[in-house]
Amino acid sequence: MRRLVVLGGGTAGTMVVNKLRRKLPRGEWDITVVDRDDDHLYQPGYLFMPFGTYRPEQVVRKRHTLITDGVDLVLGEIDRVDPEARTVALQDGRTLAYDYLVIATGTSPRPDQTEGMLGEQWRKSVFDFYSFEGSKALAGALQEFDHGRLVVHITEMPIKCPVAPLEFTFLADAFLRERGIRDRVELVYVTPLSGAFTQPIASAQLGSMLEERKILVEPDFMVERIDNEAKALVSYDEREVPFDLLVTIPLNMGADFVARSGLGDELNYVPVDKRTLLSTRYDTIFALGDASDIPASKAGSVAHFAVDVFIDNFLEHVAGRPMTGAFDGHANCFVESGDGKGLLIDFNYDTQPLPGKFPVPVVGPMSLLKETRANHLGKLAFRWIYWNVLLPGRPLPLPVHMSMAGKVTTPAATPAATPAATAASPDKE
């Protein structure tokens, strides 16, 4: 028997095992997926919980119910991979041997990495919504907040779902208007980027939406620490941004066991070939989803498209043939903008988000880089699609590779002029 072990049973890991179980003969392959617990969380739902749109129980399902028969689910904290011995050690002392390993342990918010973030104001006036507990706690704080400075802050890029902080800000603006208290609140967006987003056309569009909503932007802000006493963000260049309520996106990092195993970069992401997702060092290890260092957005949609390319490549690889599929970095993200509307962006390693229609030219029904009701409904429908289509590994009628059909191009937006690869990792190729 050959053994495939998948580390992480989140978005990417669940899709991988469910799809590969159908392709790898049961008499020849054992498939095991490891995760620390039995709760699978629908992370895009964290955006909506603070505003009461989703209840906590709507974003969690038992992991074992999402994993197909014939796959072993092992619950335990991963401690270390030994890539030479091809073993995975769990913290409880168990060891799993593998022939092939997929690392799909994602990325996590790390408030412990910024001085003062976990200080006495943590979960009093300093919150995050990138974790289930954080999002739940923020719901309470936001309901009580009725005047002052509400600051939304990104610690450092890359973060998963790089548009989520903007979405949160737009939703907060609408939420405060609905409650009739928008004029009593100063809404501030603090970012390490020089604009609203990294990519020029989307950044201009999203930046003007912030301006229209009278949201102040503090760009190029590299936070050094949070001053709990003064209730202020302090940057390395000694700027201070005071807050009454801070919603921060902590530094995002890959899993610590990746570093302990000598498999990661400085943020614990696994270096892989960006087209095949194969480790640059071990031809028995792949990394999928947020865990890899590919220069694409860290998003569920990217995980989904990459998994589709990976499946056929994996079958070729284990048969000793060259891998023929090449992932193009395709990302497709809805951007909630408040008042029951949203935008859609569709891009890849080489092409930045452009205006137009999606998926069918002229018809849509989705509009790219434009606020519409259809886009908002698409975002809400995604939760059902996630549980019922994506995770079970059923086909979704969307192109795996980004298509230019329906997109409106200008000379300035041609692929060579706009390296979209910087969407989530500005410092990568």
Ligand X SMILES: Cc1cc2nc3c(=O)[nH]c(=O)nc-3n(C[C@H](O)[C@H](O)[C@H](O)COP(=O)(O)OP(=O)(O)OC[C@H]3O[C@@H](n4cnc5c(N)ncnc54)[C@H](O)[C@@H]3O)c2cc1C
Q: Does 375 bind ligand X (CB under 6 A)?
A: no
> Nearer to ligand X by C-beta: 234 or 343?
343
- Minimum CB–partner distance for residue 184 and ligand X (Å): 26
Q: Select from 47, 103, 188, 247 the one that contacts ligand X (CB under 6 A).
A: 47
SS3 256: helix
Q: Does 110 bind ligand X (CB under 6 A)?
A: no
> Nearer to ligand X by C-beta: 231 or 342?
342
The DSSP code sequence of 301-325 is: HHHHHHHHHHHHHHHHHHTTPPP--
Q: Which residues are CB-contacts of 17 (< 8 A; sequence separation ≥ 6)?
A: 6, 9, 31, 33, 67, 68, 71
In this chain, which residue has its C-beta nearest to ligand X?
A: 10
- Minimum CB–partner distance for residue 115 and ligand X (Å): 23
Structure tokens at 77: 């904290």
Chain centre distance of CA 161:
4
Gyration radius (Cα) of the chain, Å: 21
- Minimum CB–partner distance for residue 200 and ligand X (Å): 22
Give the interface segment with ligand X, choosing from 177-185, 288-296, 316-324, 402-410 (CB under 6 A).
Answer: 288-296
Q: Does 11 bind ligand X (CB under 6 A)?
A: yes
The angle, 0 to 180 degrees and rounded to 10, between the axes of the packed helices 200-212 and 164-178 is 20
- What is the distance in angstroms between the CA of the first residue and the CA of the last residue of the chain? 39
Tell me how far apart the alpha carbons of residues 191 and 159 are, in angstroms, rounded to a whole number.
12
- Minimum CB–partner distance for residue 106 and ligand X (Å): 3
Q: Does 155 bind ligand X (CB under 6 A)?
A: no
Q: Name beta bridge partners: 253.
A: 108
* Burial per residue of 103-130, b for 16 or more beta-carbon CB atoms within 10 angstroms, e otherwise: bbbbbbbbbeebebbbbebbeebbbbbb
Give the interface segment with ligand X, choosing from 101-109, 142-150, 209-217, 315-323 (CB under 6 A).
Answer: 101-109
Q: Does 44 bind ligand X (CB under 6 A)?
A: yes
Q: Does 293 bind ligand X (CB under 6 A)?
A: no
Give the interface segment with ligand X, choosing from 10-18, 186-194, 213-221, 232-240 (CB under 6 A).
Answer: 10-18
Q: Does 43 bind ligand X (CB under 6 A)?
A: yes
The number of residues that bind ligand X (CB under 6 A) is 35
- Minimum CB–partner distance for residue 282 and ligand X (Å): 19
Backbone region of residue 77 per phi and psi (left: phi > 0; alpha: psi in -120 to 50; beta: other values): beta
- Please say whether the beta carbons of 206 and 191 come within 8 A: no
Q: Select from 49, 137, 152, 161 the one that contacts ligand X (CB under 6 A).
A: 161
Q: Is the omega angle on the peptide bond into residue 56 within 30 degrees of 0, that is, cis? A: no
Q: Does 255 bind ligand X (CB under 6 A)?
A: yes
Give the interface segment with ligand X, choosing from 11-19, 238-246, 393-401, 418-426 (CB under 6 A).
Answer: 11-19
- Please say whether the beta carbons of 90 and 100 come within 8 A: no
Query: Taking the C-alpha atoms of 36, 9, 345 and 178 in order, what is their torsion angle to the nearest 10 degrees?
Result: -50
Q: Which residues are CB-contacts of 173 (< 8 A; sequence separation ≥ 6)?
A: 182, 187, 213, 215, 338
Give the interface segment with ligand X, choosing from 43-51, 147-155, 338-346, 364-372 (CB under 6 A).
Answer: 43-51
Q: Select from 6, 13, 245, 309 the one that contacts ligand X (CB under 6 A).
A: 13
Give the interface segment with ligand X, choosing from 199-207, 209-217, 292-300, 354-362 (CB under 6 A).
Answer: 292-300
The DSSP code sequence of 43-68 is: GGGGGTGGGTSS-GGGGEEEGGGGS-
> Nearer to ligand X by C-beta: 6 or 210?
6
Q: Select from 257, 314, 349, 358 the one that contacts ligand X (CB under 6 A).
A: 257
- Minimum CB–partner distance for residue 58 and ligand X (Å): 14
> Nearer to ligand X by C-beta: 170 or 257?
257
Tell me how far apart the alpha carbons of residues 419 and 199 are, in angstroms, rounded to a whole number.
8
Would you give the binding string for ligand X spanning residues 204-243, x where CB under 6 A is met?
Answer: ----------------------------------------
Would you give the binding string for ligand X spanning residues 130-149, x where CB under 6 A is met?
Answer: x-------------------
- Minimum CB–partner distance for residue 265 and ligand X (Å): 16
Q: What is the DSSP letter of 116?
A: T
Q: What is the DSSP letter of 130?
A: S
Report the candidate in 217, 213, 211, 207 with the shortest Cα–Cα distance to residue 182: 213
Residues forming the site for ligand X (CB under 6 A): 8-13, 34-36, 43-44, 46-47, 77-78, 104-106, 129-130, 160-161, 164, 255, 257, 289-291, 298-301, 303, 333-334
